[in-house]
């Protein structure tokens, strides 16, 4: 096929693909605007935070908007080419539908690689980075909210009082701390309460950002026992106290992470570990295979979009968009239903993930075969023929 036609078809698909991808992604981001505004107002988040917040949350939208946008691009392009009789002109010049599909398949491979990189890397990275951003924002807010001569109880299990505070250096003087039960990242059993008095002190961030260190200098520790009413008193020149912020305990090792925060290798390890314990592996298998099934839907939408778009010869320009929304709705309804059955053990969890791709891929191949032979694609008639075929096979059996 001439190179000019290949480039022409690529442009016809790429423009609506990029446009729909931008619109869908921005529309999805609008649902997070209230959360972002709340963080900016209550936590004092600045421009860098907003930038990383948006960058971290976009992958959770792209895993869905990329395949949907590609379907819209293919349908809109073929609907336009068909309504202007350009498909008819290409066929009259000796080009088959298979030849016309070559640039479409090439673009589908590029989009598939992009979607796969999002699901395997950027999606878990975004979720992990989002949690760290929110944790850092909360920590910054807690520190900046400390006032002189005021009791502060936003730390877990700790009441803090500071007599004097240097806002520039963060150094504190005249520190009083009342600690109850377990307040640090590590499990500790404090007897009733522990009281700290220190001459000076300052906060120090931890490397893993899961806890906050409070370095105290020149002070005393008062601790009352519960067993025999004993009272302990100790002096120190320096002491490091671990303070746990609400949410900080959620930054866990990968074996305790939610599935959405696991990279591919971590998720595979989790499946093996859960299986070795004899526990239910379906939720983890479903999430694992979804990392590949969602990008693969690009090829399903490719073979569905081309024949459906060709059939709309006399339709309006927006027919491709409306048909694509119908296909996407049907696809995700079937996909959600099958995943629910997989989670409940009604069908194999792997089949529950790939089932929608198989069903719609088979339908796409059927429609493509009919379009290649210049037969009209009538979805209702295809369903009736499939039901009739299944009925005849059951009777013969």
Q: What is the pLDDT of residues 354-367, one digit of tens each?
A: 999 999 999 888 88
The whole-number pLDDT of residue 129 equals: 86
- Pair (379, 308) in one structural domain: yes
Please count the structural domains in the chain: 2
32 lies in some domain: yes
Least confident residue range of 99-103, 311-315, 334-338:
311-315
Which whole-number Å values give the CA distances from 83 to 69, 75, 316, 319, in the listed order?
21, 12, 8, 10
The whole-number pLDDT of residue 280 equals: 85
Task: Specify burial of residue 28 (Cβ count, 10 A radius: 0-12, 13-18, 19+).
Answer: middle
Report how far residue 59's alpha carbon sits from residue 326's, in angstroms, rounded to the nearest whole number: 24
236 lies in some domain: yes
251 lies in some domain: no
- Pair (231, 308) in one structural domain: no
The side-by-side arrangement of strands in the sheet containing 212-224 is 151-152, 158-165, 172-180, 193-205, 212-224, 231-243
Last residue of a domain, one of 209, 244, 279: 244
Q: Which of 269, 296, 295 is nearest to 284 (CA)?
A: 269
Give the mean pLDDT of the chain. Answer: 79
The whole-number pLDDT of residue 377 equals: 64
Place of tokens 């505004």: 37
- Pair (129, 177) in one structural domain: no
353 lies in some domain: yes
- Pair (213, 285) in one structural domain: no
Residue 210 belongs to domain spanning: 155-244
- Pair (295, 389) in one structural domain: yes
Helix, coil or strand: residue 167: coil
The whole-number pLDDT of residue 186 equals: 42
Last residue of a domain, one of 212, 244, 276: 244
Tokens coding 122? 């950027």
Output phi, psi for 176, to 5 deg: -125, 130
- Pair (114, 179) in one structural domain: no
Last residue of a domain, one of 244, 267, 284: 244
Task: Specify burial of residue 101 (Cβ count, 10 A radius: 0-12, 13-18, 19+).
Answer: buried
67 lies in some domain: yes
- Pair (94, 188) in one structural domain: no
Report how far residue 28's alpha carbon sits from residue 70's, in angstroms, rounded to the nearest whole number: 17
Of 278 and 24, which is predicted with more confidence? 24
């Amino acid at each position: 096929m001439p190179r000019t036609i290949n480039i022409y078809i690529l442009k016809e698909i790429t423009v609506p693909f990029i446009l729909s991808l931008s619109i869908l992604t921005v529309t999805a981001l609008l649902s997070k605007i209230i959360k972002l505004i709340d963080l900016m107002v209550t936590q004092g988040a600045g421009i860098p935070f907003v930038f990383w917040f948006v960058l971290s949350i976009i992958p959770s939208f792209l895993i869905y908007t990329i395949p949907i946008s590609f379907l819209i691009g293919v349908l809109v392009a073929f609907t336009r080419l068909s309504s202007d009789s350009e498909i008819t002109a290409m066929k009259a010049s000796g080009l088959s539908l298979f030849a016309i599909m070559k640039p479409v398949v090439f673009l589908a491979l590029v989009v598939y690689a992009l979607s796969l990189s999002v699901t395997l890397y950027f999606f878990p990275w975004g979720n992990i980075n989002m949690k760290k951003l929110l944790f850092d924002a909360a920590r910054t807010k807690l520190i900046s909210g400390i006032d002189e001569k005021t009791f502060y109880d936003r730390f877990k299990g700790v009441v803090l009082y500071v007599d004097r505070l240097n806002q520039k250096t963060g150094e504190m003087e005249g520190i009083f701390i009342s600690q109850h039960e377990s307040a640090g990242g590590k499990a500790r059993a404090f007897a009733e309460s522990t009281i700290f008095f220190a001459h000076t002190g300052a906060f120090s961030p931890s490397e893993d950002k899961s806890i906050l260190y409070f370095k105290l200098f020149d002070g005393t520790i008062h601790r009352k026992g519960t067993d025999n009413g004993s009272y302990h008193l100790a002096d120190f020149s320096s002491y490091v106290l671990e303070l746990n912020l609400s949410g900080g305990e959620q930054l866990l090792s990968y074996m305790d992470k939610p599935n959405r925060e696991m990279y591919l290798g971590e998720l595979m390890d989790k499946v093996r570990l859960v299986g070795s314990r004899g526990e239910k592996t379906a939720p983890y298998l479903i999430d694992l295979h979804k990392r590949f099934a969602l990008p693969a839907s690009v090829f399903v939408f490719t073979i569905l979009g081309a024949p459906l778009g060709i059939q709309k010869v006399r339709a309006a320009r927006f027919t491709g968009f409306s048909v694509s929304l119908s296909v996407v709705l049907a696809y995700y309804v079937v996909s959600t239903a099958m995943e629910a059955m997989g989670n409940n053990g009604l069908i194999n969890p792997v089949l529950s993930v790939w089932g929608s791709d198989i069903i719609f891929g088979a339908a796409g191949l059927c429609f493509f075969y009919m379009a290649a032979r210049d037969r009209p694609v009538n979805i209702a008639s295809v369903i009736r023929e499939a039901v009739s075929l299944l009925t005849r096979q059951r009777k013969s059996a």
